Each structure stands twice: as C-alpha cells, then as structure tokens.
Amino acid sequence: MTTTFSPGTSVTSAILNITNGTAAPFRLPFDDVTVTWCAVFLLSFLVIGFCGSLLTIIVILSCTKLQSVVFNQIILSLCFADLTSACVSWVNLYRRTWGFNQFLPPDFFCWFYWGADILTSYVTAMHFVVFSVLRFVSVWRPAYMENIKIVHVKIGIFVMWFIGFISGFVPVALLSGVSVIDRSDLSIPNARWPSCTQYLETISSYGDMIAITFPLFLYAPCMAIMMLFVATLVVTKRKRRERLPSISAAPVASLHQKEEREEERALLQVSLIVVSFVVGYFPFTIFEFYAMNNTDSSYEGWKAEWLFGTVQYIFMRFSECLNPIFYNCASAEMREKSLEVLRCQVCRWHRQPIVEIPVSTTNSVISQSEAQL
C-alpha cells in the first residue's frame, strides 16, 4: 500500500490519502498558535537584521575614515552575510509552517535558501576567526598591524567567500530542493522534514558533507575563537601588570591610556563574537546531526524534532540581529556615525516641502510694487 500526503485546509491539519480510496486525518507537529509565535519572532528578526546590517553598511561606505580601518572591512563583509541571511529567512519560516507539506514558490527559492544559509554560516565563522586573530595581534604586537593593508584584507575576504561558496553553497544547493514527502513511515528521516529539504536519494551524501565541513568550518572556528579570547585576555592582563610599577610622564601616561582603551575594545569585540557564535551556531550544528540520526517515529518524537529545528533557527537569527549592535557597542566612532546617519534620515523625513511660487504670480507682484513707486 502506498500513500501520498496532501495539504489540508489548516496549517496544522492535513489528509493522508491512501490508494485504496480511504482517507485518514493527519496531525502535523505544530499548531496555529506556535506558527503565529514563530512568525512574530522571525519576521521581527528579519526586519531588525535587515535594517541593522544595512545601516552598518551605509555608515562604513559613507565614511572614508571608517573604510581605512582594517577591522571595519571585515565588519562590512560580515554585514553583507547577515543581510543575505535576513533576506532568505522568510523561506525557512514558510517551509517549516505554511509550506511544510506543499512548497508553493518556485524550486529556486528552496535550493537557493539552503545554499545561502550554509554559505553565510561558513563565511561568518571564517570572518570571526580572522577578526579575532587580528584583534589578538593588535594587542600582542600592535606594530605588526601596520604591515596589514586594506588590499590584503579585501583579498582575504574574497578568498573566504569563494571557499564558502565552493564548500557550502554549491554542494548543499545541489542536494536540496522541493519534493513530495511520503509521511506514512516516520522512521525515514525525510518523512519528518518539510517539503523543501534535502532529497531522499542524497541524504547520505548530505550527511557525509556536514560530517566533514561542520567540524572544519564551524567547530574548529568556535574553538579557535575561544582560545583567542583567552589569549587576548592573558596578554592584556600581562601588559597592564607591566605598566603598573612605572611612573610615567604625562605624554607616556596618555599613550598608555590609549593602549588600554584599544585593549578593552579588542576584548569586548572578541567576547561578543564568542557569544554570537555560541548562541547562533552551536544549536544549529547539533540539530543537523540530531535530525540526520533521529529514529523516533512517534508523533511526540516528530514534534520534538520540529520544535528543536525551529527554536535553533530562531536563535541563529537572533544572534545575527545582535551583530550590528555588537559592532556599534565596541566602536565609539561607529556609534557616532550611525547616529549621524539616523539623524539625517529623520530630518529628511520631517523636512517641510518647498512651495514654489509660479513665475506669473511673482511678476505680477513685482509690477504692482513698481506701480506704487
């Protein structure tokens, strides 16, 4: 006996059509209230993430001084990654709720979402590592930073995006798409997954791919970032202990204060990166391995898997929304420029329209004035 699955009238109900002519109601692993809350969170994060990333991009591109800073070039590239994630996040919301059984948009949106999602994850992780390394160097050996030019950073950014595209976007996009899911046997992995997901015949290939690339592009970077944070903290404390015994003249004391402010900024940025990475990407990687190896065919197991996948994606989007805030928190100049751009935009919105006086009316007024004279 074979079965097919067709959508019902509600997002939380459907009909399991059986070839012998009978039909049975079929419960989905979520209800309308849960869908509503998911939509509230993810659509809010979409707007916040899009506006925050776009604002940071505009601020950096509109300020030559900010563009000349090596770290800001990496932040600029990270904002493009977050902007991409925000733009495709609606696909994840749709595929896990209203489009769970039948993905109505063109197949392009499905495989492009999967490719872009993995691409931005890998690119973000590589950027975080490079940023943390440069921050550590700026504290440990500040003179070395003078040898790093903007062109070097731009080349590195291009290489990271290229690696992410070849290692993430291409293989995942090829392995993903829209298909009709047979949910008669929930022990089959993709029977519990949305219609827009990995193809059943390529699930093993997808499992092999994430088994190789996740440790390389996600777990290893996470460990590296944590180690760099500890190393930056240790170097900072050691340098401050060395400064304490010396009683310096005013110019030297001022220089030490400047160095300490730079060290505090480095520690703050690296610590925020650690928080963002752990909150956003650890649940994501754990869920991918869990979903690939989950054999619980009960309805409760299906519901738990759906809830885990939805919550981990909400956490990822939340961490990406925090990134623009982190960038501004760690840089006074970035904050000032961001507020300046916002103030200019608000003034532009509230600017009164200029009323143009017709030329004929103006000439008439002038003629009357001359007549009176």
Region 263-284: mean pLDDT is: 86
Say if residue 114's pLDDT is above 90. yes
Tell me phi and psi for residue 83, to 5 degrees. -65, -40
Neighbours of 151 (CB within 10 A): 9
C-alpha span between 285 and 280 (Å, rounded): 9
Enumerate the domain spans of the chain: 32-344
Alpha-carbon distance values, 165 to 168, 206, 243 (Å): 5, 16, 46
Task: Say if residues 262 and 332 touch (Cβ distance below 8 Å).
Answer: no
Maximum pairwise Cα distance, the chain: 104
Region 136-144: mean pLDDT is: 89
Say if residue 103's pLDDT is above 80. yes
Quick one: how far is CA 330 from the chain centroid?
19
- What confidence tens digit (pLDDT) does each residue in 338-347 have? 888 888 867 7
Given CATH 3.90.198.10, say whether it is the number of domain 32-344. Answer: no
Most confident range (mean pLDDT) of 256-265, 314-323, 355-364 is 314-323
Between 23 and 321, where is the model more confident? Answer: 321
Say if residue 230's pLDDT is above 60. yes
Q: What is the structure's pLDDT at 33? A: 94
* AA letter at 175: L
Say if residue 365's pLDDT is above 50. no
Neighbours of 17 (CB within 10 A): 15
**Residue 113 CB-density burial (10 A; 0-12 exposed, 13-18 middle, 19+ buried):** buried
Quick one: how far is CA 22 from the chain centroid?
46
Region 232-257: mean pLDDT is: 70
Alpha-carbon distance values, 112 to 81, 108, 171, 193, 326 (Å): 14, 6, 11, 18, 28
DSSP 69: S
Alpha-carbon distance values, 140 to 207, 231, 263 (Å): 40, 9, 9
- What confidence tens digit (pLDDT) does each residue in 291-313 have? 888 888 888 989 999 999 999 99
pLDDT, mean over the chain? 83
Q: CB under 8 Å to 285, separation ≥6 — which residues?
A: 214, 218, 219
Q: What is the structure's pLDDT at 149? A: 92
| Helix boundaries (H) for the chain | 32-61, 64-67, 70-95, 107-140, 150-164, 170-175, 203-214, 220-243, 250-293, 299-329, 332-350, 359-372
What count of Cα atoms within 13 Å lies in the side-chain half-sphere of residue 252? 6
Share of the chain above pLDDT 70, in %: 82
Neighbours of 208 (CB within 10 A): 11
Most confident range (mean pLDDT) of 273-277, 285-289, 307-311, 352-356 is 307-311
